[in-house]
Structure 1
Amino acid sequence: MEENLIEEGESSREGEVAPALIVIHPRDKSAAVAVGPELRVYDIAGNCPISLSDDSGGPSHSESIRAIGFGANGSVFASAGDDKLVKIWMTDSWHCTKTVYAEKRVSAVAVSHNGQHVVFADKFGLVWAIALGEGDEGQAPIDNKAVPILGHYCSIITSLKFSPDGWFIASADRDFKIRITVFPKRPRKGAHEIQSFCLGHTDFVSCLAFARPIDYPQGFLLSGGGDSTVRLWDFISGRLLHTCDFGAQAGLVKSNGTEMEGGSAVIDVCASCDGSLIAVAIQSLHGIILLNCDFSARTLSIAKVVTMEESYVPTSLGLSDLPKHLWMVMGVSNIPTLGTTKLLSRVRVVSGFLKDPSDSSVRNAIIMGDSEVPGSEKLLEKLQGSLDVAEEEVTLAATAAAVKTSVHNLLIKKQYSLEKRELQKRSRNDKKLKQ
């Protein structure tokens, strides 16, 4: 690590910028966007905005939401972030039924396939489990209390994902590691069985996604990171199968009319259940990259670069189990220099994912107009927020600039002088779990 990062690597909390997030219900029933402390949800199936209600007795989110996600069947949704709150929502009514207090800021969240547990990771590198239904071995759950199940030893965990069969949980961190852990039948006793480590990234790992082709029921793991690569893994053995290096293929990306100046860390990767559609968001790319995966040959390749306007840099991607549309959002938490408290996000949708049988390449990926998006203007009004035209133009330009540096600032391992470490120790004010 460069010496000049020792004093300059850590910006103040007030200066941190949290990227906007988007997730789509596994059956395309709803879409959720988080920007700053705001959670915005739209009912796609019913074509109406959703009003959230809180029956948990806990506070609402007051700081940036860093992680959101549905369970495998879409009945449970979780949100968590910098306010050290994990809020659990039942999507049939969109009531928050439980609020759990974490000891540290939360960086990742996932819901188990059976909907009985929510797991979350904190900035200290611990993964915790929350029981939703009956506890281990039929015991009653402990209300509003999480138990630690595994750890990454003081490294910030950036992503948590359950494997397609629900037997494993993958956790990635900013120290280049991916751990595959057997998810225990009794999480309160801890997750002690490590299946494998997927090692190969040379910079922080920012995102994970699983794909389960019909001919390969075990499935595969995809990971993206600060080394400008997306990697394909046999996660059971931890073997690296292939690396798609966007830095090495920058010429191909540029030939499609999009520059990647200002950094090329992978911000997000998402994949359809069968792996037929894989999309990647890059730190400074005005658009997205669609990948082909030849699972029989265990290879990844760039199929298409979908370019967008210069002011649009996606911060998160969303895809349902029925990949008719690829959703993306651009936005960040409040930028202090703008002097506005309004939080703006911009949602885009890509459709038309047809493949040429002769070469398996993606054809006809089309950016939909606002009137063509499912839910149309009503959905966009709910998920995006609004500003006047002049203010919106300035905000979008500032957002695009902030996105290009936010991943680096959030995930790169920071270095501290001895004096600064001692000052931080003296000023720590960790919120303990409520009894």
Structure 2
Amino acid sequence: MTRCLVTASNVTVTRRETQTREWCRTRKEMLRVGPGSLAITGGSRLLGHRVGSECCPFHLDCSLLEKQSAAPGQEGSADSHGSDKILAAAFSPSGEYFALTDDNKRLVLFRTKPAWEKISVRWVSRRCTALTFSPCGNHILVADKSGDVFSFSVPRALEQGRLELGHLSMLLDVTVSLDGKHIITCDRDEKIRVSCWGAPHVIMSFCLGHTEFVSQLLPLPGQEKLLLSGSGDGTLRLWEYESGKEVHSVTLRSLAHELEDQENKRFAVSRISCCSCNGIQLAVLCEGVPGIFLFSVSPEPRLTFTQYIALTHTPIDLDFDGSAFLWVLSGVREEPLLKYKELDDQWQSVSNDEELTRLTGIIQENWGDLEGAGAPESRFVGLYKAVFDNMATYLQKKELRLESEKRKAADGQVVLASKVQKTES
């Protein structure tokens, strides 16, 4: 089944709905780093750890959590097709809380200080594609495949969610401006929307310019109210989000000079992380690209490319911690976790680090439970537009029709000439 997006000049743009529906149920392993804590998810498993703690890590298997009760008149669980796979996760800004959603439509909230513990399990109406906390940490915002955003209270951990806003297209990411006044969402139809949180029906602006689905959003610290976005079109774009004005853009393909086989890669942005300890530093991953793009944000403002770290395998995820260390989940069992630090304006690998050694051992011990894999599966293939050139097909059919008419006309003339000869004789 296909969904028609645009029809103009005999060119039709479609997306395969079956592939798109599966996207929201496809999630690779994730790495999330918060103040004082680190979390790794894989399949239905969560591994939580307090940085610097000698205690055993926190383990949770979503498949062992309670199931949602069936609706009146139905038997069994409300959704018997869920796989319990974790789809989205995030730390609160303070690092005190952690939340995740899974394929069985659970929203699970944890407290991480002084030790990890599960607080509540709530339910969302649709499978979620993204999750974030508000800057104050009192709300969780969840975006789902049907285009809706719900907010859930953190202090009132058993209270059900409230619908905040909706799109006509599947949402791929949601974030909140650092002042807490705007909810910013992006969808598979190339749009970024900025809405007022107090009155979500009031749309402040649209940030338009991407030519493929928008996969990542990140509000940048500072007074300029800047937003960074990443897309399936292989670009990073910097916006003044209140006005919707594009400030700067970067094409990632042009920066990966060391990368072989570039023509077969689309450079879809799969992850962006930010550190503001020493200016604004950015780390970017692209799907299927075995390396890390690093940028800084200059005062103009502009994105300044600083370094490309080539890796032997395609990294799965990354995140900065509060001490300006960059953590990378590699997906390789022998060295599942990498750590980088900026020294002399170059990002260099950290070795002989006690915390890194301890975490590496924990991940290796739980490798089977986390469903570690060397090559992450493609998450974006069903989101790209498929362009069918109907004009070429039309011209080809027209040419065949004209040739057929010419042949018929020629055959008719031959028959007519033979009849004239017989009449004369």
- TM-score category, normalised to shorter length: 0.7 to 0.9
* Residue 72 of structure 1: aligned partner: 93
* Residue 276 of structure 1: aligned partner: 280
Relative to structure 2, which stretch is displaced further, 192-201 or 68-77?
192-201
* Residue 143 of structure 1: aligned partner: 158
User: Displacement of 1:3 after TM fit?
Assistant: 8.0
SS in 2 for 1:46: coil
Pair 1:100-2:122 in alignment: yes
User: What letter matches 2:89 in structure 1?
Assistant: I
For residues 250-289 of structure 1, what are the structure 2 equivalents within 5 Å? 252-254=255-257, 256-257=258-259, 259-260=261-262, 261-273=264-276, 276-289=280-293
- Picking from 167, 176, 179, the partner of 1:152 is 167
CA deviations on 1:3-54 (whole Å, 9 max, x unpaired) are 89777962895996422111111x3x11111111111112213244422579
* Residue 364 of structure 1: aligned partner: 346
**Whole-Å Cα distance in 2 between the matches of residues 171 and 98 of structure 1?**
26
Contact 2:190–2:212, Cα closer than 8 Å, also in 1: yes
User: Displacement of 1:407 after TM fit?
Assistant: 2.7
* Residue 349 of structure 1: aligned partner: 338
Q: 1:385 to 1:83 in 2, by over 3 A?
A: farther
Contact 1:345–1:383, Cα closer than 8 Å, also in 2: no
Q: What is the aligned-residue identity percentage? A: 25
User: Displacement of 1:380 after TM fit?
Assistant: 1.7
User: Displacement of 1:119 after TM fit?
Assistant: 1.2
CA deviations on 1:57-102 (whole Å, 9 max, x unpaired) are 9528952211111111111211013221111111113222121111
**Whole-Å Cα distance in 2 between the matches of residues 179 and 87 of structure 1?**
27
SS in 2 for 1:242: strand
User: What letter matches 1:83 in structure 2?
Assistant: N
Structure 1 unpaired stretches of 5+? 134-140, 185-189, 333-343, 356-362, 416-435
**Whole-Å Cα distance in 1 between the matches of residues 21 and 170 of structure 2?**
18
Q: 1:229 to 1:5 in 2, by over 3 A?
A: same
User: What letter matches 1:378 in structure 2?
Assistant: R
Q: 1:62 to 1:112 in 2, by over 3 A?
A: same
**Whole-Å Cα distance in 2 between the matches of residues 182 and 18 of structure 1?**
30
Moved over 4 A (4+): 1-9, 11-17, 384-388
Q: More strand by proportion, 1 or 2? A: 2
**Whole-Å Cα distance in 2 between the matches of residues 365 and 378 of structure 1?**
22
For residues 140-219 of structure 1, what are the structure 2 equivalents within 5 Å? 141=156, 143-153=158-168, 155-184=169-198, 191-213=200-222, 217-219=223-225
SS in 2 for 1:66: strand
Pair 1:223-2:229 in alignment: yes
* Residue 337 of structure 1: aligned partner: none
Relative contact order higher in (CA < 8 Å, ≥ 6 apart): 1
User: What letter matches 1:406 in structure 2?
Assistant: R
Pair 1:236-2:261 in alignment: no
**Whole-Å Cα distance in 1 between the matches of residues 159 and 17 of structure 2?**
38
* Residue 419 of structure 1: aligned partner: none
**Whole-Å Cα distance in 1 between the matches of residues 48 and 205 of structure 2?**
36
TM-score (norm 1): 0.73
User: Displacement of 1:387 after TM fit?
Assistant: 6.0
SS in 2 for 1:375: helix
- Picking from 28, 44, 47, the partner of 1:40 is 47
**Whole-Å Cα distance in 2 between the matches of residues 383 and 116 of structure 1?**
31
Q: 1:346 to 1:21 in 2, by over 3 A?
A: farther
Q: 1:181 to 1:13 in 2, by over 3 A?
A: closer
* Residue 129 of structure 1: aligned partner: 151
TM-score (norm 2): 0.74
**Whole-Å Cα distance in 2 between the matches of residues 222 and 48 of structure 1?**
37
Contact 2:13–2:385, Cα closer than 8 Å, also in 1: no
Q: 1:218 to 1:286 in 2, by over 3 A?
A: same
CA deviations on 1:120-171 (whole Å, 9 max, x unpaired) are 01111100011232xxxxxxx5934111110112x22111222222222221
Q: 1:5 to 1:383 in 2, by over 3 A?
A: farther
Q: How many residues align?
A: 358
Structure 2 unpaired stretches of 5+? 5-10, 68-81, 388-425
Contact 1:222–1:231, Cα closer than 8 Å, also in 2: yes
